[in-house]
Amino acid sequence: MFWAMMDILFPPREPTLFETACEIVAEHGHNSRDTRREMQDEGITILGSGCFGLVIDGGDCAIKFCRASDDGYRAFLDLCEGHPNDWLPRIYWTKLLPNDILAVAMEKLEPVEYNGDYHDGVPHDDYRVLRRLMKGSKREARRANRDLVATIDLMKTQVKELEMSDESIYISDDMHSGNVMLRGEQLVITDPWC
């Protein structure tokens, strides 16, 4: 009688897209062929994937699945949440899942389609400037957007402090055109470390 009443009060429902994606990731890992195939079979749109993560269309946001123990990405999330600015993505929430998986909901951004030095026919020097700043160009730092320079300085300081706090942590630069996206014409750094 109790369970019959519960079914009336709380009727069974279909799992949400996020719940389905979490079940798949829990079963197959955050970025395996089986994960990608099963998500596609369930009608989940994969926005991108790489060695360390998988991003799906979460409706009004993008959801990234990655290793929770990824020191570089966790440091980057801390930076995004602690120092929001136009060069960093907006993070809505994070959720720790079983098997060392982290789900991160963030704003949806547009991919950068590079054709030489251009994006959709518009010159886009920000990426070149960003790469030079990541490599430590003092000349570029004098000419670049102050907010970008400050963001890169914060990122580098954060990584140095993290590496100094624990000898087992090593974080390397993973800045490439696949780890930046666009919010309109604004370049956004999405995953600078590995």
Give the model's pLDDT for residue 55.
93
Residue 107's pLDDT is 95
Burial 147-157 (b: 16+ CB within 10 A, else e): ebbebbeebee
pTM: 0.78
Instruction: Note whether 62 and 106 are within 8 A (CB).
Output: yes
Q: What are 143-191's pLDDT values in tens digits?
A: 777 777 777 777 777 777 766 777 776 666 666 667 788 888 788 888 8
| β-bridge partners, 49 | 54
Q: Which residues pair with 187 in a beta bridge?
A: 182
Query: For 112-144, how does the pLDDT look when each residue is reduced to its tens digit (9 = 90+)?
Result: 766 555 444 444 566 677 767 777 777 777 777
pLDDT band (50, 70, 90) for residue 12: confident
- pLDDT at position 5 is 60
Average pLDDT over residues 4-29: 80
Mean pLDDT of 82-105: 90
Nearest-angstrom CA–CA distance, 108 and 26: 24
User: How many percent of the chain have pLDDT more than 90?
Assistant: 26
